[in-house]
Amino acid sequence: MNKILSFLKIIFPSTKTEGFIFLFFAILYGANAWFIAENFSIIYDDRIPWDAYFSFDNRAIIQTGGGFERHPLSNYFFDQIRNFALLISGNHYNSTFRLVLALLSTLIISLANVQIFKYLHNIIRLPLKISLLILFFYGLFVTNILLSFTPETYTYTLLFLSIFNYYSAKQIQDEKTVSFGATIFGSVFIGGLTITNIVKVYIPFLFEKKIFWNWKKIGIAVSKVAVSAGIFIFLFLLRLDFNIQNFFTKTEEQYDKFSTPKVTPLWDMICSWFFGGNILFSNYEIRDYHNKDKTFYYKALFMDVYSSIIPYIFIGVILLMLIWSIFRNYKNRLVWILVISFFVDILIHCVLKFGLHTSYIYGGHFIFVYPLLFGWLFFSFKDKKMPLTFLYGTLMILTVYLGFNNFYRLTEFYQFLETYYK
């Protein structure tokens, strides 16, 4: 019973401040989600198979959980979400159905934001005003805004990764180990929604106290990986009817499709879409799309690269602060967990180029690293007033610019919906 209560305290708000934070974001994101779901069909339209806005595959995810080669167990997860939404809507794919899906996303992203606050306040132990500023800055990111009304694997992945990251950091800080149950939970839920994320569940094992100097600890860690991976693989093969060749064939097709070089220069795709597109909205590009049978034509919205120097400077400042944080905390085990986790996504998208042309949709896999590294940067100057004041002032300026830019771009998104999805 105590373990269950401790687990619930990790997931849900457990203090008045955390409760206020959850309500603040739930109301802020919820108003936007409600407006879009109630007035426009873009969140779910049975005629639109994919890519209606920013390359999200809402209908495919809701109906099938997405492609098994990338989202191996998500069909089980989204079957329950779809059935719940249909129960509330009276078995109709109407505005009520869309609203349930959108508000579930709102609650999930609001809970994920609470996890970030817990880490900043309980793990890093930053002063309240600094934690709240970092959190508010993070709450304005493109990823959080879009996922707060979008029923996608990334929405739930962001919550599960945030929870697991906070839990594992707390265990390591307290000189404890990640439990068998948490390892299995992480493997099935995090790896099940996106297969490449399963490796992030095992990264904290590398930083448990003196693990490489104790054969018993190594054996326990290996057994955790083996058991959790075994359960994951069994569930995955069960979905495939044990046809593993189909998985390899599909994976090769997906890699060829999503790693093809684009006209946009590589450096600009990395800057504008991987690093920037998950934080700061850019210009939009509207394209003509149709369903498989070409019986329905629709407009799809994508992000273009940045068109002025200011967004590049904005993203450059953020990257410099992240690098600064790493150098300031190079002896910190918890920082290296974040860095290695982030490097997994850099390798997949920037080096292997998988999905780089739409990497602004992948933020749910790594965007939580940004505020936490910012938090560690503030922590590294905890006894130095001048650098702290400079960092606080810089973050204030970044927050104001981010807020104005993203609000303006959101109104342009509304205009797109008003024109094509009323």
pLDDT tens, residue by residue, 345-388: 999 999 988 888 889 999 999 999 999 999 999 999 988 889 99
> Residue 155: what pLDDT?
96
In the chain, which residues have pLDDT < 70?
Answer: 1, 246-262
> Residue 246: what pLDDT?
65
| 3 state DSSP class of 290 | strand
List the beta bridge partners of residue 298. 289
| Contact indicator for 143, 363 with CB cutoff of 8 Å | yes
> Residue 355: what pLDDT?
86
Q: Can you read off the two tokens belonging to residue 21?
A: 């934070």
Alpha-carbon distance values, 143 to 155, 194, 300, 351 (Å): 9, 17, 18, 22
Alpha carbon 221 to its chain's center: 26
Rounded-to-5 percentages of helix, strand, coil across the chain: 70, 5, 25
Q: Can you read off the two tokens belonging to residue 247?
A: 């998985």
| 3 state DSSP class of 346 | helix
| Contact indicator for 109, 158 with CB cutoff of 8 Å | yes
Closest CA to 289 of 420, 422, 97, 411: 420
Please measure the distance between the N-terminal and C-terminal CA atoms of the chain and give it in whole angstroms: 49
Angle between helices 16-39 and 128-139 (to 10 degrees): 10
Angle between helices 180-193 and 215-239 (to 10 degrees): 40
Closest CA to 187 of 140, 230, 219: 230
Separation CA 421–CA 212 (nearest Å):
57
> Residue 255: what pLDDT?
55
> Residue 299: what pLDDT?
92
